[in-house]
């Protein structure tokens, strides 16, 4: 939900912006429209998009570019320096990963629609963030984080199904309220035995999982699905159905169908995983703060 809460000033593109084709301005620094369209060019060639769909995809890509700009600027201002050799090693690790898949690095660049320079910039940013977090995180904080997220580090999993109604950021309050009330009534009907969860999912769920009764399979506690969804799925007993859950994808009813406890972990054995997960959470909370402080103007046509 982080991106959906992006605080921006939406406006019509001015004549000047149309001439320079600026998609957004962040504290005076511009993101050009061609940078946005370069990332969606491949999608458009595979699936023709309507004008409305193209703008929606552009907005999603633009949100990611704004995030990258904010984090890159933060890391630059933090003064964290890294050895260029670390970037080379990160690049080589990616090359080796591709080889294990019997693929070349060129295949990865084509699949992700990036240049080598763009990938190296991402590697640099990840390494800088890791250094920053390591420098500014006490061991006690990592221990507390490990204890608070034992489900994830024990590799516990749950299998869940859902019924989702797509309610985008542009939905009116009435549309959002109507969707929420529809799901609340459906939940009551299922609880009363007058409706079946799987059949309802097949009929009204706006997700590719609908034909399977809403089944999305097994998930870990963190980083596979939206945090609000995962939190709900793991909080339920087998067979229980959640209240209405809101994510970036819409409004959901979640039902947990199976659960596996995983294997109890010791922090010294998963310390790298703890640091990595902590870093990702730190990055997301950092973005919230950076967006609140930044002056962001969207001029996307």
**Co-location of 288 and 223 in the same domain:** no
How does pLDDT run across 290-299, given as a tens digit for each residue? 999 999 888 8
Pair 54, 44: CB distance under 8 Å: yes
> Is 205 part of any domain?
yes
Burial class (CB in 10 A: 0-12, 13-18, 19+), 92: exposed
How does pLDDT run across 219-240, given as a tens digit for each residue? 888 877 888 888 888 888 998 9
Task: Show the domain range for 12.
Answer: 3-81+123-140+273-298
DSSP state of 13: P
**Co-location of 74 and 189 in the same domain:** no
Residue 81 to residue 70: CA distance in whole angstroms: 18
Which residues have CB under 8 Å from 3's CB, separation 6+? 60, 63, 64, 67, 248
When pLDDT is cut at 50, 70 and 90, the band that residue 210 belongs to is confident
**Co-location of 23 and 70 in the same domain:** yes
Residue 45 has pLDDT above 60, yes or no: no
**Co-location of 199 and 282 in the same domain:** no
Compute CA distances 108 → 38, 64, 112, 116, whole Å: 16, 19, 6, 10
Residue 244 has pLDDT above 80, yes or no: yes
**Co-location of 181 and 231 in the same domain:** yes
**Co-location of 133 and 278 in the same domain:** yes
**Co-location of 61 and 176 in the same domain:** no
Burial class (CB in 10 A: 0-12, 13-18, 19+), 11: exposed
* 0.85 exceeded by pTM: no
> Is 148 part of any domain?
no
> Is 105 part of any domain?
no
CA-atom Rg of the chain in angstroms? 22
Left (φ > 0), alpha (ψ -120 to 50) or beta: where does 217 sit? left
Residue 185 to residue 252: CA distance in whole angstroms: 13
**DSSP 3-state assignment of 251?**
strand
Pair 59, 29: CB distance under 8 Å: no
Left (φ > 0), alpha (ψ -120 to 50) or beta: where does 10 sit? beta
């Amino acid at each position: 939900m982080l991106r959906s809460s992006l605080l921006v000033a939406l406006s019509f593109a001015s004549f000047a912006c149309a001439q320079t084709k600026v998609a957004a301005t962040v504290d005076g620094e511009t993101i050009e429209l061609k940078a946005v369209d370069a990332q969606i060019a491949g999608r458009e060639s595979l699936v023709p998009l309507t004008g409305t769909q193209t703008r929606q995809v552009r907005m999603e890509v633009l949100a990611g570019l704004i995030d990258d700009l904010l984090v890159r600027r933060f890391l630059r201002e933090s003064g964290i320096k890294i050895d260029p050799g670390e970037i080379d090693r990160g690049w080589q690790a990616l090359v080796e990963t591709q080889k294990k898949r019997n693929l070349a690095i060129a295949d990865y660049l084509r699949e992700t629609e990036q240049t080598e320079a763009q990938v190296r910039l991402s590697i640099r940013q990840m390494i800088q963030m890791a250094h920053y977090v390591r420098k500014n995180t006490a061991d006690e904080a990592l221990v507390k984080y490990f204890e608070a997220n034992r489900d994830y580090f024990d590799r516990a999993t749950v299998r869940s199904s859902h019924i989702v109604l797509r309610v985008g950021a542009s939905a009116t309050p009435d549309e959002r309220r109507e969707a929420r009330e529809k799901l609340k009534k459906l939940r009551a009907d299922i609880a009363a035995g007058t409706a079946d969860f799987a059949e309802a999912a097949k009929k009204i769920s706006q997700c590719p999982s609908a034909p399977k009764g809403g089944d999305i399979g097994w998930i870990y506690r963190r980083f596979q699905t939206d945090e609000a969804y995962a939190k709900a799925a793991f909080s339920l007993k087998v067979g229980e159905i959640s209240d209405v859950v809101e994510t970036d994808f819409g409004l959901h009813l979640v039902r947990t169908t199976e659960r596996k406890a995983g294997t109890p972990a010791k922090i010294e054995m998963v310390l790298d995983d703890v640091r990595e997960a902590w870093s990702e959470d730190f990055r997301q909370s950092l973005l919230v703060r950076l967006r609140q402080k930044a002056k962001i103007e969207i001029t996307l046509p």
